[in-house]
Amino acid sequence: MSAEAGDTGKAGVIVAQEDAPPMNKLSHAVLDDLLYNVVHDLLLKVHRDEKIARANTAAIKVEKLAKSTTDGTSTDPKPDVEIETDAAIYKDGKVMLKGNPLKSTKEILCPKCHLPRLLYPTDGKGAKKPDPGVIYCKKHPYIEKVGYDIYGQTWVAPGPGRGKKKKDQKLDPNDPSSPAQGEGSAKDRPSNVLSFPSATCPKCKRCILVTRLNNHMGGCIGNSGRNASRAAAQKISNGSNGGSQNNDNTPPGSQKGTPRPGSRGASPRKRDGDEFDEDAEDSDQPNPKKKKIKPNSLTKKVILKAKSSAAAANFKKDKAKASSMLNVEQTPDDDDAKDSTVQVMPKKPTPTLKGASPTKKIKLGAAKPRLPSPAGKKAKKDRDLESESSGTMSSPPPR
C-alpha cells in the first residue's frame, strides 16, 4: 500500500469513505490490493496461454512456409532458407518472433494438427457460427448449454416402454433386422441425440442394453440378483406341484437369457413348461421381431442339450425340427417345428448344426411317443400352436 494513496489500494475499486477512521481506510486498502492481485493473477494466466499459443502459431506458419518453398528437398526437417512473415522470421532452422504475437497473429493453430482452432463454441453460451469454408482442428471449445453435455450431445429419455423395446430389439446381435431398425430410428433424430448403447456379456455372449448390464451380470456371473431368487422360487414351485406352470403368471420366457446348467436336463417337466409358456407368450406378442429371436435361442440350446444328454423332453423338439428340414409333410406336431424352423433359418450356424446329423435326430425323435409328458397339457399346447401357426408360416414379416 503506497502511503500517498491512503484510502485505497492499487486497484482503486474498494475505497473507504473520506471520514473513515484510519484502520477502516487501511483495511479497505488491503482488500483493494488483494483484489488487484486476484485480477492480476487471472490476467497473467490467460495472457500466458494466449500469447504462447499465438507465438507458436507464428512459428508453425513460418516453418510451413519454409518447407513449402523447398518442396523438392522437403525431407530435411530444417530447410536452409530464410523466410519472413508478418509475425516471425525463419533463419538457420530457427524461428524468431517479430513484434508482439498478440498483435501480429490473429488466429491460433493447433500445435498437433496445424489446423486453425475454433475459438468459439458452436452452440450454447457464447456461441458463434464457424466459417464453413475453413477446416478447423477437431478440438472444439466446450459447449455450455442447459440439457446438453460439453459436446452438445443429449440423450433419448429412456422411458419404461421405450427402454423395453430397445432391449428386445438388441437382444440378438445376429438378427439382421434389429440393427437396421436401430439405424432407422437414429435417422429420425438429430445427430446429437444419442441413445443408450448395448454391450456383450462376456459370459453368455448376449447383447444387453447398458442400463441393464449390471443387473444381468449380477445374475449371469455373480449368480445373485432378482433372477436368482426368481429361479429359485420357480424351482420350488416346480417341485411341489408339477404342471401348474399354466397358472404361473410370471412369463419364464423373460428369463430364458440366463442359462441354468443342469436344470433343464434334470427336470423335463420344466422344459415342457417353458416351451409351452414361450409359445403362449408368442401368440399374443404383437411384435414378430421378438418371436424371431426367442425360438432361435431356444432351439440352439435344445440342440446342445440333445447332444450332451439324453433328456427325454428334448427329443420331441429335435425330431420336429429335423423332420421339417427333411420333408414338408405336416403333422400337428410339425406346427411347432415349422414355427421354429422358419425363424431359425436366418441364423447361419444353427442350420449347419442341424443338417449335420438329421438321421440321428430322427432316430431320437422316434423315441418320442414314449415321452412321459403330461398328455393334457400337450393337447392344449398343440391347440394353441394350430391357432397361430398359419399366420406365422405364411407371412413371417408383420402380422
Partner 1 sequence: MSARPATPASPKNYKVRATQPGQPMYGCEHLQRLFNQDQATTNTSIQHYRAILRSIFDTNPLVPQTSKAADGAVVTSLTPTYLCLQCPSTLTEDDRTKHGSKKSHRFYVDSRSGALYCQMCDDIVWDPTFEELRLKKIGTGTFSNRKRKHEELFETSDPVRNNPTYITSNTTIASCKSSGLRGIYNAGATCYQNVVLQSFLHNPILRNYYLSDGHSSSTCNVPYCLSCAMDDMFQDFYALETTNGYTAANILSGFWFSDRRAFDNLVATKEQDAHEFFQFLAEELHERNGDGKKPEIGSEHSCNCIIHQTFYGKLQSTTTCQNCSGVTHQVQSFLDLNLPLENLSHKKGKKTLSRGQLTLQECLEEEYVKSDKCEYRCHNCSSMQQARRQTTIKRLPNVLSIQLKRFEYKQGRNERAAKIDTPVQFPLELNMLPYTNRGRAISSNGHDGGKENYELARSCTYDLLSVVVHVGEIDTGHYVSYCRDGDQWFAFNDHRVELAQKSDVLNSKAYLLFYVVRSLS
Report 222-241 residues binding partner 1 (CB under 8 A): 222, 224-226
Distance CA 291, CA 246 (A): 20
Please answer whether residues 326 and 348 qualify as being in contact, where contact means their C-beta atoms are separated by less than 8 angstroms.
Answer: no
The number of C-alpha atoms within 13 Å of 16 and in the hemisphere containing its C-beta is 19
Nearer to partner 1, 40 or 383 (CB): 40
CA 190 to each of CA 132, 144, 162: distance values in angstroms, whole numbers, following the listed order: 20, 19, 18
1 forms part of the interface with partner 1 (CB under 8 A):
yes
Q: What is the CA radius of gyration of the chain?
A: 37
Interacting positions 93-122 with partner 1 (CB under 8 A) = 93-100, 102, 110-113, 115
Residues ≥6 apart with Cβ < 8 Å to 243: 269, 273, 374, 377
Q: Decide: is 356 part of the binding site for partner 1 (CB under 8 A).
A: no
Query: Contact at 8 Å (CB) between 163 and 209?
Result: yes
Q: How far is CA 270 from CA 238, 252, 334, 346, 350, in A?
A: 7, 10, 21, 28, 24
Footprint on residues 289-308 left by partner 1 (CB under 8 A) = none
Q: Minimum distance from CB of 202 to partner 1 (Å)?
A: 5
Q: Which range of residues in 16-24, 89-97, 296-304, 348-356 is near partner 1 by CB under 8 A?
A: 89-97
Residue nearer to partner 1 on the CB measure, 80 or 386: 80
Residue 171 Cβ, how far from partner 1 at the closest point, in Å? 16
Site for partner 1 in 151-170 (CB under 8 A): 151, 153, 155
How is residue 393 written as a grid cell? 408360416
Residue span binding partner 1 (CB under 8 A) among the ranges 136-144, 310-318, 324-332, 351-359: 136-144
- In the bound state with partner 1, the residue whose beta carbon lies nearer, of 167 and 301, is 167
The CB-of-59 to partner 1 minimum distance in angstroms stands at: 5
Least distance between partner 1 and beta carbon 128 (Å): 17
The closest of 287, 284, 293, 272 to 373, measured between CA atoms, is 272
Residue 191 C-beta: closest distance to partner 1, Å? 11
Binding of residue 128 to partner 1 (CB under 8 A):
no
Residue 254 phi, psi dihedral angles, 5° rounding:
-70, -15
Residue range at the interface with partner 1 (CB under 8 A); choices 182-190, 191-199, 252-260, 336-344: 191-199
Q: CB 365: neighbour CB atoms within 10 A?
A: 21
89 vs 304, beta carbon nearer partner 1 = 89
Q: Under rule CB under 8 A, which residues in 33-72 are in contact with partner 1?
A: 33-34, 36-37, 40-41, 44-45, 47-48, 51-52, 55-56, 58-60, 63
Nearest to 315 by CA among 242, 376, 370, 257: 370
Q: Select the span of 12-20, 217-225, 289-297, 327-335 touching partner 1 (CB under 8 A).
A: 217-225
Q: Is 254 in the site for partner 1 (CB under 8 A)?
A: no
Could you tell me which stretch among 197-205, 292-300, 309-317, 343-351 binds partner 1 (CB under 8 A)? 197-205
How far is 95 from 162, CA to CA, in rounded Å? 60
Q: Which is nearer to partner 1, 33 or 279 (CB)?
A: 33
Q: How far apart are the first and last CA of the chain?
A: 87
Could you tell me which stretch among 138-146, 168-176, 271-279, 328-336 binds partner 1 (CB under 8 A)?
138-146
- What CA–CA distance (Å, rounded) separates 311 from 317? 11
> CA–CA separation, 233 vs 240, rounded Å?
11
Cβ neighbours of residue 314 under 8 Å, at least 6 residues apart?
A: 264, 271, 302, 305, 306
Rule CB under 8 A: is residue 7 a binding residue for partner 1? Answer: no
